[in-house]
């Protein structure tokens, strides 16, 4: 027999207010005008109808009573003024709120982006952190987290303001007496009857949103399964909207695979899925019950007011006032209680966001000043080992090596041998799990982190260009030295392509922002990335497979200009093509996370070992076939 899944416990109210309050504080910090405009908008829209209800009741009473012409004109003008003035003020507040809301989505995304930039790079790469962020993105797409906290805040404000206004206009309903001559209806004056009527209306008003909140909790309980579905949907959207995926999708009919996944009837949103079963069962019953109770309240309110009016407690104007006010009061209380339930259902999502934003930055910045990399400066890896978070095996083990400023070093080895990990440790994107990295005998953790990073110009294989003008991409800045940027592009081999661009350095890269942008090829983009590294002009140049996307002629051009590219700098060159290692006087050979060989090309190729094995494996493809 299949064991029934245990429902997660409801969060406490203390935790509910703490977590959602923290999200609202973040929203206020990032978008204060938006939250203020929302607050004013909700309060005004909740209390404004009461003004028209009250004035309309006075006008109707006067029409049904004395019909004083002067008072009728005064009340009519007052009604007109309230309606016109209220409409103008509503339009102004609505415009204010709409304008203020324009940047909210951007600010929320900036919040997550800034956290990622502040985190240690090794934490950003941690699969657990990536999964947490992906879950936040999926849940945000479904309206949970920060968004739901904001919407619940809307309902809370609306409900609270409506309750205040409703109480002010309905309290006299229970105080106004039915004349003693009204016969049996005089019983409506008895305190017990008044208390019973108020209790019944309050009970119905409270029970309706409680049932609605309980129905909504089924969605919160299915959050994990829903997140998985949303993940598949987002992947489907990514595949279908990115042009670079178009060929694969069509050739392998990946769209059909995704359609089969999303079209299953037993999927969470399918006709036989979890929510369909709940809709026919408890969730549907709770929702229907909530709606029925709303109708029951209307019947109670109308009945009580009608009986008191029939008994002579008040006239026609007051009837309209009390009916409208009670309806608004009930709606306000429902909104108030519903908002509390939404805050509670939103708490697991809020906790997830707060946990992500509170992830610690473990990589400390020292206080020593970094004064460039003087000639003869020495870098040393002393017993350095590194293991990725959650991994059992070391990516790099017991690495010991030294090199000096000005050296040209090639790093080679099979995939997964530790080459890129070595580079990221050198650049202090990672800190060693064990051992130390020294610059002139000082642990690099003692230097100011930001200053230390400025020592390196790096071209990684997975580099990133922005959809901004070409010159800004090269300089990585809005303001830049145009002749210098152009020189760097030419040195990187981009000169002929630059001359073919009518807008030159102002040419937009890619079309994500500007439709007139240029979609550069992989090799062209790699040259731009190389030019960016040259523009930075850091004392250490790190090139990770800088010719991987280039054709043979362009690759040969880079090799010919290699000395010019790294003139006066320390150069670290990662490559799978061993023929390119001849340009470096010192070659480091990595294997399974360890440095297993070191030396010049001629020396290494002349001895047995991994380097010669790699050389022979590649050289066979360039040897002429026997005739």
Q: Which string of DSSP letters, residue by residue, matches 367-409?
A: -BPP----TT-EEEEEEEEE--TT-SS-SEEEEEEEEETT-EE
Which has more confidence, 496 or 338?
Answer: 496
d(CA 195, CA 448): 71
DSSP state of 561: T
Where are the alpha helices (H) located in 9-103, listed in sequence order? 13-30, 32-64, 69-100
DSSP 3-state of 621: coil
Q: Provide the angle, in degrees to the nearest 10, between the axes of the packed helices 146-175 and 282-310.
A: 30
pLDDT band at 189 (very low <50, low <70, confident <90, very high): confident
Q: Give the H/E segment covering residue 596.
A: strand 594-599
Q: Could you tell me if 615 and 578 are in contact, meaning their C-beta atoms sit under 8 angstroms apart?
A: yes
d(CA 485, CA 536): 10
Looking at residue 3, its pLDDT comes to: 45
pLDDT at 32 exceeding the cut of 60? yes
- Lookup: tokens for 548: 């991987």
Q: Cα-flanking dihedrals φ and ψ of residue 430, to 5°?
A: -120, 155
- Lookup: tokens for 414: 């099979």
Q: Provide the angle, in degrees to the nearest 10, between the axes of the packed helices 316-357 and 282-310.
A: 150
For residue 581, CA distances in Å to 182, 410, 571 come to 108, 6, 12
pLDDT at 557 exceeding the cut of 60? yes
Q: What is the pLDDT of residues 509-542, one digit of tens each?
A: 988 788 888 888 888 888 899 899 999 989 999 9
Q: Give the H/E segment covering residue 482.
A: helix 482-491
Q: Is the whole-model pTM more than 0.75?
A: no
- Looking at every residue in the chain, the average pLDDT score rounds to 80
For each of the domains in the chain, give its residue range(s) and CATH number, in order of start: 13-357 (1.20.1560.10), 465-537 (3.40.50.300)
pLDDT at 627 exceeding the cut of 60? no
Looking at residue 400, its pLDDT comes to: 95
CA dihedral (407, 413, 415, 418) positive or negative: negative
DSSP 3-state of 129: helix
Residue with tokens 């200009």: 561
Which range in 99-103, 172-176, 224-228, 433-437 is most confidently predicted, on average pLDDT? Answer: 433-437
CA dihedral (560, 564, 570, 574) positive or negative: negative
For residue 624, CA distances in Å to 95, 198, 577, 619, 621 come to 76, 99, 19, 10, 8
pLDDT band at 5 (very low <50, low <70, confident <90, very high): very low
Q: Could you tell me if 540 and 573 are in contact, meaning their C-beta atoms sit under 8 angstroms apart?
A: no
Query: Which residues are bridge partners to 408 per DSSP?
Result: 571
Q: Is 458 left (phi over 0), alpha (psi -120 to 50) or beta?
A: beta
DSSP 3-state of 556: helix
Average pLDDT value for residue range 606-617: 86
Q: Name residues whose C-beta falls within 8 Å of residue 79's C-beta, 6 or more positions apart in sequence.
A: 52, 55, 56, 59
Average pLDDT value for residue range 457-463: 85
pLDDT at 419 exceeding the cut of 70? yes
Tally of CB atoms within 10 A around 157: 21
Choose the weakest-confidence range: 104-113, 256-265, 439-448, 460-469.
256-265
- Concatenating the DSSP letter of every residue in 415-452 gives TTSSHHHHHHHHTTSS--SEEEEEETTEEGGGB-HHHH
């Amino acid at each position: 027999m299949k064991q029934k899944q245990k429902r997660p416990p409801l969060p406490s109210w203390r935790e509910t207010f703490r977590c959602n309050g923290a999200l609202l504080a973040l929203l206020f910090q990032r978008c204060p005008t938006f939250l203020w405009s929302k607050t004013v908008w909700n309060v005004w829209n909740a209390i404004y109808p009461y003004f028209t209800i009250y004035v309309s009741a006075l006008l109707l009473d006067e029409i049904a009573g004395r019909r004083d012409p002067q008072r009728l004109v005064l009340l009519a003008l007052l009604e007109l003024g309230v309606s016109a003035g209220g409409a103008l003020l509503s339009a102004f507040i609505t415009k204010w709120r709409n304008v203020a809301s324009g940047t909210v989505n951007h600010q929320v995304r900036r919040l997550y982006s800034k956290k990622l930039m502040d985190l240690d790079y090794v934490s950003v790469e941690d699969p657990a952190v990536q999964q947490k962020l992906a879950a936040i993105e999926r849940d945000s797409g479904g309206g949970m987290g920060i968004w739901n906290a904001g919407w619940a805040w809307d309902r809370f404000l609306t409900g609270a303001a409506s309750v205040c206004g409703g109480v002010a206009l309905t309290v006299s309903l229970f105080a106004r007496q039915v004349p003693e001559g009204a016969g049996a209806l005089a019983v409506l004056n008895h305190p017990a009857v008044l208390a019973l009527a108020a209790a019944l209306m309050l009970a119905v008003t409270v029970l309706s949103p409680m049932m609605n909140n309980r129905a909504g909790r089924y969605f919160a309980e299915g959050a994990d399964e829903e997140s998985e579905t949303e993940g598949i949907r987002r992947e489907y959207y990514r595949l279908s909207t990115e042009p670079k995926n178009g060929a694969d999708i069509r050739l392998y009919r990946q769209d059909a695979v995704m359609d089969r996944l999303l079209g299953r009837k037993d999927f969470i949103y399918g006709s036989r899925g979890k929510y369909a079963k709940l809709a026919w069962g408890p969730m549907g019953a709770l929702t229907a019950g909530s709606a029925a109770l709303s109708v029951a309240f209307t019947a109670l309110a109308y009945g009580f007011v009608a009986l008191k009016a029939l008994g002579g407690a008040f006239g026609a104007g007051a009837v309209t006032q009390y009916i409208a006010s009670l309806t608004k009061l009930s709606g306000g209380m429902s909104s108030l209680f519903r908002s509390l339930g939404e805050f509670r259902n939103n708490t697991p999502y809020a906790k997830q966001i707060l946990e992500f934003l509170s992830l610690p930055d473990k990589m400390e910045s020292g206080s020593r000043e970094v004064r460039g990399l003087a000639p003869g400066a020495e870098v040393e890896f002393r017993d350095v080992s590194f293991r990725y978070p959650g991994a059992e095996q070391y990516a790099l083990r017991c690495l010991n090596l030294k090199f000096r400023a000005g050296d040209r070093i090639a790093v080679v080895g099979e995939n997964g041998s530790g080459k890129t990990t070595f580079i990221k440790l050198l650049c202090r994107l990672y800190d060693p799990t064990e051992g130390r990295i020294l610059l002139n005998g000082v642990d690099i953790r003692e230097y100011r982190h930001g200053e230390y990073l400025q020592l390196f110009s790096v071209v990684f294989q997975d580099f990133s260009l922005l959809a901004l003008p070409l010159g800004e991409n090269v300089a990585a800045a809005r303001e830049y030295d145009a002749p210098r940027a152009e020189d760097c592009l030419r040195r990187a081999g981009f000169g002929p392509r630059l001359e073919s661009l009518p807008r030159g350095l102002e040419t937009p890269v890619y079309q994500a922002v500007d439709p007139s942008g240029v979609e550069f090829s992989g090799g062209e983009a790699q040259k731009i990335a190389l030019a960016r590294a040259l523009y930075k002009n850091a004392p250490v140049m790190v090139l990770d497979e800088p010719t991987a996307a280039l054709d043979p002629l362009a690759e040969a051009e880079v090799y010919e200009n290699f000395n010019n590219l790294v003139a006066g700098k320390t150069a670290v060159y990662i490559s799978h093509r061993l023929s390119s290692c001849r340009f470096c006087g010192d070659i480091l050979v990595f294997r399974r996370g360890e440095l297993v060989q070191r030396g010049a090309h001629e020396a290494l190729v002349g001895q047995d070992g991994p380097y010669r094995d790699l050389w022979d494996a590649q050289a066979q493809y360039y040897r002429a076939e026997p005739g």
